[in-house]
A and B are shown apart, each in its own frame.
Chain A
Amino acid sequence: MSMRLSHLAVSSGGTTLVDVENLHFERGQAVTIVGESGSGKSLLAHAIMGTLPGNLTLQGSLAVDGTTYDLAERTNRRALWGHAMSLLPQEPVLSLDPTMRVQEQVAEGARSFTSDKASARLSARTLLGSLGLGHAARAYPHTLSGGMTQRVAFAAATIGNAQVLIADEPSKGLDEAARGELAGLLQRHLDGDGILLTITHDLDLARELGGTVLVMKDAHVIEQGPAGQVLTEPAHPYTRRLLGAEPANWNYCWANSGTVAEPAGQPLITGEALSKSYGGQRLFFDLSVTVRQGERIALSGPSGSGKTTLGNILLRLLPPDSGRVRHADVLDGGRLQKLYQDPTLAFAPRAALKDSFGDVMRRHRLGPDRLEELMASLRLAPGLLERMPGQVSGGELQRLAIIRAMLLRPALVFADEPTSRLDLITQQETMSCLMDQVDSQGCALMLVTHDQSLADAVAHRSIPLGTDDAQARERKFETVSAP
């Protein structure tokens, strides 16, 4: 079996969104498309599946096993869905049915489901068992962790034995351990002589999968070749920029500045003997944390280990089960600020940005020049303020959130996964804006992240929480200082 995509063009109005000449897929060979948001990667995947929205114009052809399909006709690939071609969607939590038990949901995809439900359920159970989810067959999706739902989605996508698997940003929102697991699953599909197309902006996943890597930018494939070559000796300047945007390759002057956890620094937040559990699950116990002036701390660990909870307790947004938190006086009057994972939720959704900013400046008697200066130094056009929060891209809105926090000259900023929803280049841009401000104002930073390389690039020391899902429940953690 082989698959070939020829002369694909997707456009909306007069704008070309995807323009790809030829793509060849071989059994057992991973094809991975990397690129930033808006480069057309996901559209390419949906064009192959035939799941593009109707307002986009589509041209090209797809040859699967000697049969040629005209892509412009959206419905002709439907017969292939499930047993010949299937899609592993973005964010499986959103695509699984929350009211259905896992096993039933997976069984639905089996070919025999309509004729013989019992055998469909049996094969679903076997498949789930082989993915290490035998115990969770009767569970509902929302009770599972991000990594487990991804495995359920994988089971649902592959139970029909589809040879062609298209994975659309499969590692979005997954921590390192879950991503490793996912790479293993995709590898399994390849080992079974399947065809795999992965769309991702996660270069580590691309490295793990190997095979061919294509780099997309502005609707075009600008570079392609074996993963080892493209991701180590890039030929195109954009690919070089993409690789340089990985936190491990950052080289900024702020990387080594700031106070390095000197005990003499004035403590801003002192948390003593903090404990918190949720629903019988202990997140941390008897944990003491001191955050000093000018310090940069990373709260790291896998999803669900209580990083954000610890941060919120230290900010006194949540009460701890036991223990107490003291704030220094310098934090009064709004000098303690927080950045959110999803900036669209952190602004009043129905108020124009200029009104939200106007309220902050009026309340704290700030002149318009302070805002203009920050807007300029974070490279944002003043016209953005006329828009509503929902009309600004994620990266730009996060930078606006940084500006809003920095307006008050904070002594401490708590950044809760501020870049986990952004692609590499936008992440680099956002973090460098944040760190420039943190550095120039000498404020302390508490960063929550599950990306160890980001934590290493930014922080002086880190407070690790949890090591894996199972152990996180019983283990007791202490602060660890790193030079």
Chain B
Amino acid sequence: MTLPLTLPRPAEAVKGQRIRHAAAALLALLLLFALLGPVAWPNHAAQDLSRFLEAPSLAEPLGRDHLGRSVVARLAHATQLSLMMAVLCVVTALLAGTLAGIAAAWRGGWVDTLLHGLSEAFIALPALLVVLMFSAVANGDLWTLYVGLALAQWVEYFRVVRARSGLVLAGPAVEAAGLLKLGPVHIVRRHLWPELRPLLTTMATFGVGTSILALSTLGFVGVGIQPPTPELGLMITEAFPYYHEAPWMSLAPVLVLTTVLMGLLALRSKESST
């Protein structure tokens, strides 16, 4: 006979719930900024050198940069670009990694050997190096960054999915489904997906954060997206020389990065605890 388990105290659960709500609200605000910002401030490239390093005002909430461009317009476009790229990379990596992971666990044999070997090769290389190699080939085009980031990230989805699917597929529940002739659709839908879904959502939320950070890191060191396209990392680099005159210029992109990462991390605790 098993003894009744103690349940988590309600106070802790309520507190966790509040944090998650706050994080979701913060991310929703940021998303709204990324979607509507570029509509409200469509022109991020218009220069007006006479308004060089203008201080924030009602019309220009973040002032103007060293070339007299609207900082809020550039920030809105940069946020949109970062979020879109990150989501696209994560979706691609997740799909590729999950499909490859399930295929390797299910088929075994040479499929498993091949895919596993390939993933080992990728794991041996630091993720940023993969992206850097790709950027070097095509000189900072957007698609090379996308391919590089997706290539660097599919491995972790592959390895987690392969390990977990292997356990599930070898279990008695799947064996019983096989004897009942239920077919692969049932196995994926009822056995694999419910088991993988919480893992994948956790990894994907974390992956979006990592991708945004990787993009801005590359922008910061100057090998990512090339100017004049606004990008968070690039904006920080460009604003550094004017930090004393116009601190808001470098702090705004940092704030956006921090908000995204904190929001995603706080949101993530939900999936990992259920």
Contact = CB atoms under 8 A, between A and B. Distances in A.
Among A52, A315, A359, A364, max chain B CB count under 10 A is at A359
A382 interface: no
A38 interface: yes
A363 B190 contact: no
Which bucket holds chain B's interface residue count?
Answer: 20 to 34
A304 to B, nearest CB: 19
Interface in A160-190: 169
Contact of B176 (A41, A340, A363): A340
Contacts, number: 75
A212 B78 CA distance: 80
Contacts of A38: 1
Interface string A331-346: 0011011101010011
B75 to A, nearest CB: 42
B4 A338 contact: no
Contact of B190 (A52, A342, A359, A404): A359
Given A356-B190, A359-B190, A363-B180, A53 B4 contact: yes
A334 B179 CA distance: 6
Contact of B3 (A42, A340, A355, A404): A42
Contacts of A351: 190-191, 194
A350 interface: yes
B167 to A, nearest CB: 12
Contact of B194 (A317, A334, A350, A364): A350
Contacts of A348: 173, 177, 190-191, 194
A347 B173 contact: yes
B177 to A, nearest CB: 8
Contacts of B186: 359, 363
Given A337-B180, A348-B194, A356-B190, A42 B4 contact: no
A345 B3 contact: no
Interface string B163-184: 0000000011101110111110
B173 A338 contact: no
B58 interface: no
B6 interface: yes
A284 B157 CA distance: 42
Contacts of B171: 345
Interface in B24-79: none
A342 B172 CA distance: 9
B141 interface: no
B1 A41 contact: yes
A377 interface: no
A262 B175 CA distance: 31
Q: How large is the interface on A (under 10, 10 to 19, 20 to 34, 35 or more residues)?
A: 35 or more
A51 to B, nearest CB: 8
B62 to A, nearest CB: 47
A346 B1 contact: no
A48 interface: no
Contacts of A360: 180, 182
A98 interface: no
A14 interface: no
Which of A12, A333, A363 has the most chain B CB atoms inside 10 A of its CB? A363
Interface string A312-338: 000101000000000000000110111
B173 A349 contact: yes
B191 A46 contact: no
Interface string A32-44: 0000011001110
Given A12-B4, A349-B194, A351-B191, 5 more contacts: A55-B4, A90-B1, A315-B179, A338-B176, A338-B179
Interface of A: 12, 37-38, 41-43, 46, 52-56, 90, 169, 315, 317, 333-334, 336-338, 340, 342, 345-351, 355-356, 359-360, 363-364, 401, 404, 408
Interface of B: 1, 3-7, 171-173, 175-177, 179-183, 186, 190-191, 194-195
9 contacts: A53-B6, A90-B1, A169-B1, A338-B179, A346-B173, A347-B173, A348-B190, A350-B195, A355-B190
Among all A-B residue pairs, the 8 with the closest Cβ atoms: A350-B194, A42-B1, A348-B190, A334-B181, A351-B190, A345-B172, A359-B186, A346-B176
